[in-house]
Amino acid sequence: MFDLQNIRKQFPILSRKINGKDLVYLDNAATSHKPLHVLDSWQKYYTEINANVHRGIHTLSQIATEEMEHSRRKVQKFINAKNDFEVIFTKGTTEGLNLIAYSLNNLVKADDEIIISHLEHHSNIVPWQMLCERTGAKLKVIPMDENGVLQLDFLDKNLSEKTKIVSVNQVSNALGIINPIEEIISKTRANSNAITVVDGAQSVPHQKIDVQKMGCDFFVFSGHKMYAPMGTGILYGKEEILRKINPFHGGGEMIATCTFEKTTYADLPFKFEAGTPNVGGNISLGAAIDFMENIGLENIKTHENVLLNYAQKKLLEIDGLKIYGEKAMRTGVVSFNLEGVGISSDVGMILDKMGIAVRTGHHCTQPIMSFFNIAGTVRASFAVYNTLEEIDILADGVRKAQRMLS
């Protein structure tokens, strides 16, 4: 049974007052709050274990190693990876995408092509631009229409033997639009030998992920958007590709042998995990998966869709309010502006005075904002602990901001 009040009790921060008001936290696309189960896991590591992994024969090191590797296996199951060694621990989505872009350097040459979409976060734009600068490859962009829907006929016309990488997010962080990833991957497979990369930062918190069904070569996401600590993330890669490419970082842990003449690399996954990992964070990522699975991923998805539909209904009752991507299939996000209010941050500051936390600005998606000829939007984003009553408070707050700013 889905018990929202019991879920909320697991998040101590939700009882905070902000400017004398009950906190209404609607900035979950930036980061989600952490439940007691995750906080307890983090504290337990540092108070009862606190040892480095893989390198020690003493008891605490062995416990730390087993706990972190158990978390890796939880991630494997969570995203349905074929093997646990295809799961690489990272600091987050951004590091995962940079790792891929640098590791694929030797597979890309001048005049090759890399395809991304108009809906990408800067983290799925800049690493590919940097790869193009290093190799002489060309960057191409799948266009979108006025509803934020990607125009996939672009792929039919532009995929070729020159296409080496196709990298697209599964859900837009700025608009919440759900992209047809399986169709994109299918088109890519049919028309090229390109490597497919999926940015799952905004999809993993809201829906079940199956990388084998999806058919992607790489899938990356962050822990802190799915109730885990900051500084945690995952790179999934197919075994055959991970074995072909070179590591991004060099140092301890990722070597098999090291001499001044030559170094050989460790086996997967350690080849890509140089240095001391975020052991406590990685263990707590497993605790966050436990939290989500105990509630039920379908229950989370259903609840958040109710929130999204209700928020859209309530906000569109406000004269002069525009929702971007309104007619597209979306999850987790309502991104909007008020007519006659030129600066979205003004709305955000007024909402903050009422205890309402939203995100304003370009959301690290300046190309999207340029497409709509705006500087930014007000973005309300949802998590499993949000309520319909909080949506009502948001709508009332937006009305107040509209009166004040007009």
Q: Provide the residue ranges of all domains of the chain, joining segments of one domain with +.
A: 4-30+297-405, 39-293
Distance CA 308, CA 330 (A): 8
Domains 4-30+297-405 and 39-293 share a fold: no
What are the counts of helices (DSSP H) followed by strands (DSSP E) for the chain?
Answer: 14, 17
Q: Give the 3-state secondary structure of residue 189.
A: helix
Q: Which residues pair with 47 in a beta bridge?
A: none
What pLDDT is recorded for position 342? Answer: 81
Q: Give how far the C-alpha of residue 237 lies from the chain's centroid of Cα atoms, to the nearest Å.
A: 16
Half-sphere exposure of 73 (CA within 13 A, CB side): 6
**Could you say which of 2.40.50.140, 3.40.640.10, 1.25.40.10, 3.40.50.720 is the CATH number of the domain covering 39-293?**
3.40.640.10
What pLDDT is recorded for position 343? Answer: 86
Query: Could you give the residue numbers annotated as active site?
Result: 364
CA 172 to each of CA 148, 302, 331: distance values in angstroms, whole numbers, following the listed order: 9, 19, 9
Is the pTM value of this prediction over 0.95? yes
**Token pair 């995929």 is at which residue?**
159
pLDDT < 70 positions in the chain: none
Closest CA to 147 of 125, 122, 168, 176: 176
CATH number of 4-30+297-405: 3.90.1150.10
Closest CA to 241 of 181, 164, 188: 164
What pLDDT is recorded for position 55? Answer: 78
Closest CA to 160 of 185, 116, 191: 191
What pLDDT is recorded for position 257? Answer: 94
What pLDDT is recorded for position 243? Answer: 97
**C-alpha R_g of the chain:** 22
